[in-house]
Structure 1
């Protein structure tokens, strides 16, 4: 399948221009979609969104349903104890906004708190238990989306998630494997053991997983809104649980959490309007840089190896800038106008040799922070043309592994995304510096990149989990759409990645033929592939990501969705109403 997808992309890059030229006289463009499309990482979440649309809700109500249901059925990836970034488009006003619900640093979480007796980074504290957790943002995000953008009461949009938490759902293979990987940490905490052990036995594939305490927490959120989580009963349990486990949160920090509305990054690429995530996401600035570097070449005319070489060199330069300049914009001055400008991209393009790799040590600096693969994304377009791209996370597999007793809320371990000790690698072997150092209320740098693409004929929502590779997966998806691929083909595209340091191309199995891998190596690239690669591989994942995308073709007024085939429980669904024009 991956060899086919790679070959198809090459075929499309070469032949798409001819196909477009052969089109017949244009039809009138539809102003409203004929129905709705949702793609998410779990079938129950996709169905929850469709259920809310059928009750008269819009894309924003559906987003609350999808997000909250993912928080129930994908605890390895996201949850009420985590955060997220939602990109919203209001069809009535034409306005786009990114809602930033990234977790925030507690005042107690100073860098010194994460050092051991020798002054080294205490890795156990930075990724496990209460000290690794930032103040959650997702519950506040759900409340704000429903209140300011939705049509239905919050209680109605949360009803599917409450039902699934109460009745349970079958444990799937990835969920069971993730628990096995994190079991030692999760079974340290009584609140976590109560949820994940069945008569002393860990959850196993096929078990019906019920979460009554999480259902109760969701009901309080549905009934009382913000105060149902950040004040009152749930807040008291969260604070007591964190304190009992040795952490330090305050009631004021919980009650003071706010979602930030941020202006998206908007730029043009080959006739596409790209609307994407601004800081504290690093994704939008990196996308703008990479795509504006690449628009200087006709990628369709290049062979596979040279096209990959140029894409990798664009990745290398964008990730170098990510390290030095990006952080929480409420705390750090970011030269966003320069970093997203065509003039700056043109200067970076001039440093790329068409046939030779640029060693990363010639681009002075140090590595960049990132977040783990275990994130999730959903994409929605409704019958009015509203759209939502939502990416949410708890960071590592099952976040911190810590559930404060009585809440059912698995807390994140996003504190590890800060530069807790400047120049010291985090859990993923990468480093950060002052721009991403923790301060009270500060948001850690993210790679989440929910993105809209639109041109005269098409409207697309795209995003994925994947840690620092999120940005490059969205980049490859954009290039795939530009080459003429459909939504499902884009979701299935094989993936490769370069993040400046370490100075190597990592790739999925089947992403490159042996010949292309040899050509890249001859140009000076180090190619790190899985075990079936030309160089034997030394650690690249066999597959990565969980891309979810939807597309509205305004010319034919058809909707389509693409759900990543790497995730067997993912789902893309289209509902046609016959009311579109």
Structure 2
């Protein structure tokens, strides 16, 4: 009851601050991060504490056995770093991992069990970032999550509904069944969820660092669970021991008076968001404020442009983007201003482009690539943090599908991240860039983004959950804040409009759904569907009176922006 009251109080806190702020997918995670900031920690410390708590309170989306991509702005050094904790394919993973009789497996046949479990990277990456930039002792960062895992917390209506919807698959795993389906019935909203096994795992990580997961008995249990499952995978303890995070260079590009920075490959998100924004930069988006009725031309035109720019970016994404450590990604060409100006000329304000195709960016090299067909992407969580020293973190974290592989080890749900690879390794004799290969990182859509003002200082930080829809969610929110002058909270709450490969998706139950007939009349393939974005944004405003922070948490999830 005390924790339930705490939840309600935190949800009521206005998303305004002058020193520091965290926006994340659960109030207890926001409080865990805030506690580290109050204790003298920085944005990296807060991110680690929040991620540990998310593993407890949002197990369906992220956790210790998943991956994460983190952008970090070091205010003192004026340095932007991109920390890559993306999962990797085991050394023995074959190109046809997801083929059955030469054909792609149904998604859930591939995702559930050991086959799709990638070597986790989140904790190794956070450990490396902490060694480089953290301030508080590593073990201190896990104390809030350990306490909640031991004592329990009342689960939200959203988590309860997700458990119920996935009860059949969760029920096949003994540990998941005992934790989430006690007595064979899904936990009801408000029911306490205690996870002492996860508390013990968190203690081990707090004491031993990421070695607790990658070496020794926990690693052995993970590898055994993956290989012994009825749908077995290929992971070994050597794969876990050999995992290493990567420190990469962010991708950045101008947008009007700002500079936008996102995550490079293996994420497709940074490049795709920057491409969308570059295409929209050729349009007068400020005149197309979407807050109106579907019958208004400016509302329809805003949806048209958001969708068309996204469709063009997705065409490039599906052909070229993959793990740049193993594939020659024409990164420079995809973000070349002249190339993007040519791509922008494809946009007709009155009619949809028929079947957008990948372009031919300069500096392309290697064999011709086949475009990867669309396939499901789900899951994830995002957190945005600004600390009192001006350091900024944008981190998106995932176990891929809802509840990942539905395979639990020591209180942790394992990821099914390998289903982010193309199920088809080649098409018509041409290789797919994002095909499975040993040690390769599957292409991601995670799009942690930091916006810099003309003064070179951070002006906004944003990211989202939502699989491949993350790209459109983030691009729409950037336009809302930068072109339409919206504060973060209304920006992240906007009815969602965005591309999903060749089609435009509109959020059901909102005014956006009313745009479907007019967009279809313009030639767009349209789908109206429920959206489960998980946007978390912070705006940093520097004025004569000092710094003002405004935060926004997506009302579609359980998150909150908390600051002081």
Same fold (TM over 0.5): yes
How far apart are the structure 2 equivalents of 1:562 and 1:360? 35
Aligned to 2:304: 309
Question: Among residues 345, 348, 357, which one is paired with 2:343 in the alignment?
Answer: 348
Aligned to 1:203: 187
Matched, 1:462 2:457: no
Give the C-alpha shift of residue 168 in structure 1.
1.1
Give the C-alpha shift of residue 456 in structure 1.
4.1
C-alpha contact (below 8 Å) 2:72/2:394 kept by paired residues? yes
Residues 136-182 of structure 1 deviation map (CA, whole Å, 9 limit, x = unaligned): 11121232222221101110011111111111111112212212222
Matched, 1:519 2:518: yes
Give the C-alpha shift of residue 49 in structure 1.
0.5
How far apart are the structure 2 equivalents of 1:124 and 1:43? 31
C-alpha contact (below 8 Å) 1:116/1:122 kept by paired residues? no
Q: TM-score, normalised by structure 1?
A: 0.85
Q: TM-score, normalised by structure 2?
A: 0.88
Partner-residue secondary structure (3-state), 1:215 = helix
Q: Which runs of 5 or more residues in structure 1 are unaligned?
A: 1-32, 425-431, 530-539, 576-581
Say if 1:370 and 1:263 are closer, same or farther in 2 by CA, change over 3 A.
farther
Aligned to 1:388: 393
Give the C-alpha shift of residue 311 in structure 1.
2.3
Matched, 1:571 2:560: yes
Partner-residue secondary structure (3-state), 1:550 = strand
CA RMSD of aligned residues (A): 2.1
C-alpha contact (below 8 Å) 2:310/2:498 kept by paired residues? yes
Aligned pairs for 1:23-38 within 5 A: 34-38=18-22
Say if 1:500 and 1:165 are closer, same or farther in 2 by CA, change over 3 A.
same
Aligned to 1:561: 551
How far apart are the structure 2 equivalents of 1:47 and 1:128? 33
Aligned to 1:448: 446
How far apart are the structure 2 equivalents of 1:314 and 1:460? 22
Matched, 1:193 2:198: no
Give the C-alpha shift of residue 54 in structure 1.
1.2
Aligned pairs for 1:130-529 within 5 A: 130-245=114-229, 246-302=232-288, 303-360=298-355, 366=371, 368-369=373-374, 372-404=377-409, 407-422=410-425, 434-456=432-454, 459-482=459-482, 483-501=484-502, 503-512=503-512, 514=514, 516-529=515-528
C-alpha contact (below 8 Å) 1:101/1:138 kept by paired residues? yes
How far apart are the structure 1 equivalents of 2:86 and 2:68? 5
Say if 1:124 and 1:50 are closer, same or farther in 2 by CA, change over 3 A.
closer
Give the C-alpha shift of residue 508 in structure 1.
3.9
Partner-residue secondary structure (3-state), 1:378 = strand
Matched, 1:545 2:533: yes
Out of 444-453 and 368-377, give the one that drifted further: 368-377
Aligned to 1:14: none
C-alpha contact (below 8 Å) 2:315/2:356 kept by paired residues? no
How far apart are the structure 2 equivalents of 1:366 and 1:309? 24
How far apart are the structure 2 equivalents of 1:367 and 1:243? 28
Q: Which runs of 5 or more residues in structure 2 are unaligned?
A: 1-16, 289-297, 360-369
Aligned pairs for 1:78-157 within 5 A: 78-117=62-101, 119-121=103-105, 123-157=107-141
How far apart are the structure 2 equivalents of 1:56 and 1:71? 23
Aligned length: 520
Partner-residue secondary structure (3-state), 1:85 = strand
Give the C-alpha shift of residue 293 in structure 1.
1.3
Residues 251-308 of structure 1 deviation map (CA, whole Å, 9 limit, x = unaligned): 1110111111110011110101111111111111112211111111212235222232
Give the C-alpha shift of residue 123 in structure 1.
4.2
Give the C-alpha shift of residue 241 in structure 1.
2.5
How far apart are the structure 2 equivalents of 1:332 and 1:95? 27
C-alpha contact (below 8 Å) 2:476/2:498 kept by paired residues? no
C-alpha contact (below 8 Å) 2:421/2:434 kept by paired residues? yes
How far apart are the structure 1 equivalents of 2:196 and 2:490? 39
C-alpha contact (below 8 Å) 1:369/1:417 kept by paired residues? no
Give the C-alpha shift of residue 345 in structure 1.
0.9
Give the C-alpha shift of residue 454 in structure 1.
2.2
Say if 1:420 and 1:520 are closer, same or farther in 2 by CA, change over 3 A.
closer
C-alpha contact (below 8 Å) 2:63/2:399 kept by paired residues? yes
C-alpha contact (below 8 Å) 1:320/1:367 kept by paired residues? no
Say if 1:58 and 1:197 are closer, same or farther in 2 by CA, change over 3 A.
same
